């Protein structure tokens, strides 16, 4: 009975270890693809029109700043409407993407 339990424990350990390694490789690959897409978008945008690229980056920065302000301020109401909800959602998505890239993009050896 003890040998079966030990063999099952070793098998479970190996399955968990291999699963974690595969998940790490998949997340690193996803981060590399996302980083490559962001660089490609920036390159194509800059080659099309540098002025519009800078203007778009400035507008996007303003929207993210508004979203951060809406996310972290203390409001009397619990609900946001319209532009406030949109910018808060955009800021949260950008922050989550930045955190994901911060954690997994250094493993990408494409740089």
Instruction: Give the chain's mean pLDDT.
Output: 87
Which percentage of the chain shows pLDDT scores above 90?
44
What pLDDT does 106 receive?
Answer: 83
Number of separate domains in the chain: 1
111 pLDDT band, cuts 50/70/90, is low
Domain hosting residue 40, numbered range: 2-107
3-state SS of the chain is CHHHHHHHHHHHHHHHHHHHHHHHHHHHHHHHHHHHHHHHHHHHHHHHCHHHHHHHHHHHHHHHHHHHHHHHCCCCCCCCCCHHHHHHHHHHHHHHHHHHHHHHHHHCCCC
1 pLDDT band, cuts 50/70/90, is low
Q: What is the pLDDT of residues 53-67, one digit of tens each?
A: 999 999 999 999 999
What pLDDT does 76 receive?
Answer: 61
What pLDDT does 12 receive?
Answer: 85
What is the model's pTM? 0.72
């Amino acid at each position: 009975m003890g040998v079966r339990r030990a063999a099952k424990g070793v098998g479970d350990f190996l399955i968990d270890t291999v699963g974690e390694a595969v998940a790490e490789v998949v997340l690193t690959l996803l981060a590399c693809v996302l980083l490559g897409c962001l660089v490609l978008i920036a390159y194509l945008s800059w080659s099309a029109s540098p002025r519009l690229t800078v203007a778009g980056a400035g507008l996007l920065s303003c929207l993210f700043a508004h979203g951060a302000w809406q996310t972290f301020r203390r409001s009397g109401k619990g609900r946001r409407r319209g532009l406030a909800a949109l910018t808060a959602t955009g800021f949260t998505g950008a922050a989550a993407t930045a955190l994901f890239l911060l954690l997994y993009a250094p493993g990408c050896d494409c740089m």
